[in-house]
Structure 1
Amino acid sequence: MKTRITELLGIEYPIIQGGMAWVAEYHLAAAVSEAGGLGLIGAASAPPEIVREQIREAKKLTDKPIGVNVMLLNPNAEEVAKVIVEEGIKVVTTGAGNPGKFMELWKSAGVKVIPVVASVAMAKMMERAGADAIIAEGTEAGGHIGSITTMVLLPQIVDAVSIPVVGAGGVADERGFAAAMMLGADAVQMGTIFITAKESIVHSNYKQKVITAKDIDSEVTGRSTGHPVRSLRNKMTREYLKLEEEGASFEELEYLTLGSLRKAVVDGDVINGTIMAGQIAGLVKEEKSCEEIIHGIISRAEKLLKM
């Protein structure tokens, strides 16, 4: 399946794995790339040397393209940006800010820069800044989100920019993939379904919470702080929403979630940890390999798109 994104990134299928903090490490990234998509290592707030190690370990498992997701709020972002160039990474996705200050460094090294955006205005700004493509992420997605749905946001961004657009948020099967392509996307980005992949090192408790989730089981916390996050509901989200309702300070809310994603992903504490996942979790019913996920979606989507 050839699109502008497969040509740009040198990948076989127009599927990108989300750069999820703690989840998107080298085992998963390498498995997605080996299966023909683009695997991403989520740098999150990791120190630069950890990111370097993750890149090197991924390269031992695959010789296909892999990328790194850079969280621009990370105090180590500048050092991580340099590590990406030094380690020969050719694709970067960015979130939580404007990658403008790293554009010259990355572009001169031949790195393709693909920012995640949640509005048309941001998409236009990123195109002007020199982005090679855009990820249009709807509010259905897990983790940090905007306010516009994928179905509404994606076609408006496609119409607003001339560079390739990747649809993200609410995609976990061939129907979502086909819908995104019909709305003008050149690829999709998926996160939630890869949490449950066999190659994912996420704790089995976390995977089971995603697999058993129903359509109404996600919750958005942090609206009062201007940093909304979508997770599966549990004791932690209930406490957080109660504190928000009572007008708790930003510091109090931050303290509640300190280290909570690691608690869920690594320790399997799905009661007090943060179980980031998208609204599409209710559609994810079993653990599959990355190859089964990607090849299954592509083969079935091709039939839908020919109808």
Structure 2
Amino acid sequence: MSITRLLGIKYPIFQGAMAQIALAPLVGAVSNAGGLGIIASGGLSANQLREEIRKTREITDKPFAVNLMLMMPNIPELIDVVIEEDVKIVTTGAGTPAPYMETFKNHQILVIPVVPSVKIAKKMETLGADAIVAEGTEAGGHVGETTTMALLPQVVDAVSIPVIGAGGIADGRGIAAAFALGAQGVQIGTRFLTTIECPTHPNFKQAVIDANDTSTTVTGRSLGGPVRSIKNEMIKAYLELENKKASREELEQLSLGSLRKAVHEGNVEQGSVMAGQIAGLCNKITTAEEMITTMFQEAQHVLDRMASLSLVEKEWI
């Protein structure tokens, strides 16, 4: 079954679950536009998640999902809210959904883990995942080490469930490329940062618009939790501390509250502006609907053009 039919959506596009950003205004807009809006529950209390779910339903009557960061200590309470509010799709990360899979299945909840490797993708299929998001290191926020170009076709070959490509996709060409590699859909985060409905400070959006292909870097490798962000004063100081083998406590003290500073206060020098390597293509503010429809028109154009190409000279065949 195609991912669009499985989830009841028009376009095979997931909106990335960006912490403190992927909330009702953006999620509802994406779902209304025909994609799958995803609420980021990381950092939310059970009551806050319930409020975001209800706010989203005030905006849209289309399907949407909740992302569950499984390392969060209040995950059991968040799952209770998902069940009580009758959300039928969850994406997962930062841990295994194994302890909760039976509960999800008992409540007819579709489970779609985000994975950075073939090994984990195969484990998720064995657990009963309904689809997989294979996310390359080009993505913003928490990342793995393998690029999307290398990861995606290997995951597609390794599992029999639908695979969604993520990391480094921001236009129709990227969508077409993901489909060429075997994906049934795409997950996009960074491009949604430059939508009107994205509830971030204008300075945050401008930082993404001003970014180019070399504007991001990865911190946190020494802690085992690499994160991709746009370079700024805080990131520079963090990397200097990492190079000096600073303790976890020193590094965490420097980055404490940094996402809030950037997202809500607009402090894009001392805050964490998480974004992917594709930020250089995100240079225009649009509505979520315009973004989605334009990208899929572009993707269809690319695929149509490719269908007419011959990669081998006929006289050589």
Task: State the Cα distance separating 1:73 from its structure 2 match.
Answer: 1.0
Match of 1:92 among 90, 93, 112: 90
1:258 Cα deviation (Å)?
1.1
Cα distance in 2 for residues equivalent to 1:52 and 1:187: 28
By how many angstroms is 1:257 displaced? 1.1
Is structure 2 residue 44 aligned with structure 1 residue 40? no
**Residue-by-residue CA offset, 1:217-238 (whole Å, 9 max, x unaligned):** 0010001111000000000100
Shift of 1:112: 0.6
What is the identity, as a one-letter code, of the residue corresponding to 1:256? Answer: L
**Contact kept? 1:45, 1:76, Cα under 8 Å:** no
CA drift at 1:27:
0.4
Deviation, structure 1 residue 108:
1.0
Q: Choose from 59, 72, 75 the match for 1:74.
A: 72
- Which of 205, 208, 211 matches 2:206? 208
Quick one: which of 145, 148, 151 aligns to 2:149?
151
Moved more, 171-180 or 94-103: 94-103
Stretches of structure 2 lacking an aligned partner (at least 5 in a row): 306-317
Letter in 1 for 2:270: N
Corresponding position of 1:271: 269
Shift of 1:306: 2.0
In the alignment, what sits opposite 1:260?
258
Provide the C-alpha distance between the structure 1 equivalents of 2:151 and 2:284, rounded to a whole number of angstroms. Answer: 29
The alignment's TM-score, normalised by the length of structure 2, stands at 0.95
Determine the C-alpha separation between the residues in 1 that align with 2:149 and 2:46: 36
Query: CA deviation digits over 1:11-47, x for unaligned, max 9?
Result: 0000000000011000000000000000000001211
Name the CA distance, whole Å, in 2 between partners of 1:300 and 1:246: 46
Larger of the two Rg values belongs to structure: 2
Q: 1:175 maps to what in 2?
A: 173
- Alignment correspondent of 1:185: 183
Maintained 8 Å contact 1:45/1:75: no
Matched, 1:296 2:308: no
Question: 2:183 aligns to what SS in structure 1?
Answer: coil
Distance in 2 (alpha carbons) for counterparts of 1:103 and 1:305: 37
CA-based RMSD of the aligned residues comes to: 0.7
1:132 pairs, out of 126, 130, 133, with 130
What amino acid is aligned across from residue 265 of structure 1 in structure 2? V
What is the CA deviation profile of residues 246-265 of structure 1, one whole-angstrom value per residue up to 9, with x for unaligned ones? 11011111111111101100
TM-score by length of 1: 0.98
Shift of 1:111: 0.8
Q: Deviations along 1:49-99, whole A, 9 cap, x unmatched?
A: 100000000000100001011111111111101111110111100111101
Q: Note the residue ranges of structure 1 that are not aligned, 5 or more in a row.
A: none
Distance 2:105 2:7 in 1: 14
The offset of 1:303, in angstroms, is 1.6
Paired residues in the alignment total: 305
Provide the residue aligned with 1:236 in structure 2.
234
Residue 252 of structure 1 aligns with an amino acid whose one-letter code is E
Tell me, what secondary structure is at the counterpart of 1:306? helix
Q: What is the CA–CA distance in structure 2 between the aligned matches of 1:85 and 1:118, rounded to whole Å? A: 27
Q: Aligned residues: percent identity? A: 56
Segments ≥4 residues shifted beyond 2 Å:
none
Given that 1:170 and 1:176 are in contact with CA atoms closer than 8 Å, whether structure 2 keeps it comes out as yes
One-letter code of the match for 2:258? Answer: S
CA distance in 1, matches of 2:80, 2:105: 12
Residue 121 of structure 1 aligns with an amino acid whose one-letter code is K
- Matches of 1:91 and 1:305, distance apart in 2: 29
Q: Match for residue 52 of structure 2? A: 54
Paired letter, 2:153: P
Secondary structure of 2:285's counterpart equals: coil
